[in-house]
Amino acid sequence: MEGNATSDDGGGYVSPCWEPDGSFNAVCIVVISVGVVVAVVTVFCILQVTKLCMKLKTDKVKVDEEREMKLLKTEKTTDAAEADDSNASSSRQEEATVTNVDGIHTIETSFVSSTAV
């Protein structure tokens, strides 16, 4: 029974990784090295998955906020259109600029000029 719980010289525990001459077994070096590499890769993967979950959570919040803002913007635009129908043109322009900051409103004007003959 080589490398088990007892040794020939005193009955103490002897690790199976240590050779009788005191050197470390090559198989144990490979096993420990692979274990360390797997542990490092595992920690890296856990960190990446955690970052991905955090990003997914913040992106979901942003999507919900954008959806809510679009809904509010649609409601404000509808309200502004109804107010435009009932108000004069100057108040209509002020209302549109207040409710729809990103919108562009055009005003049609006509110039009539006459020349005397």
Q: In the Cβ-directed half-sphere of 49, how many Cα atoms lie within 13 Å?
A: 6
| Of the candidates 94, 98, 59, the residue with the CA atom closest to the CA atom of residue 76 | 98
Could you read off the pLDDT of 46-56 as tens digits, one per residue?
A: 999 999 998 88
Domains of the chain: total:
1
- In this prediction, residue 83 carries a pLDDT of 57
Query: Which residues span the domain enclosing 41?
Result: 1-82
- Write the burial class of residue 93 (CB in 10 Å: 0-12 exposed, 13-18 middle, 19+ buried): middle
Could you read off the pLDDT of 11-22 as tens digits, one per residue?
A: 677 788 888 888
Position 91 in a domain? no
| Of the candidates 34, 94, 1, the residue with the CA atom closest to the CA atom of residue 26 | 34
Position 20 in a domain? yes
Position 8 in a domain? yes
Position 40 in a domain? yes
Q: Which tokens is 116 given?
A: 């005397």
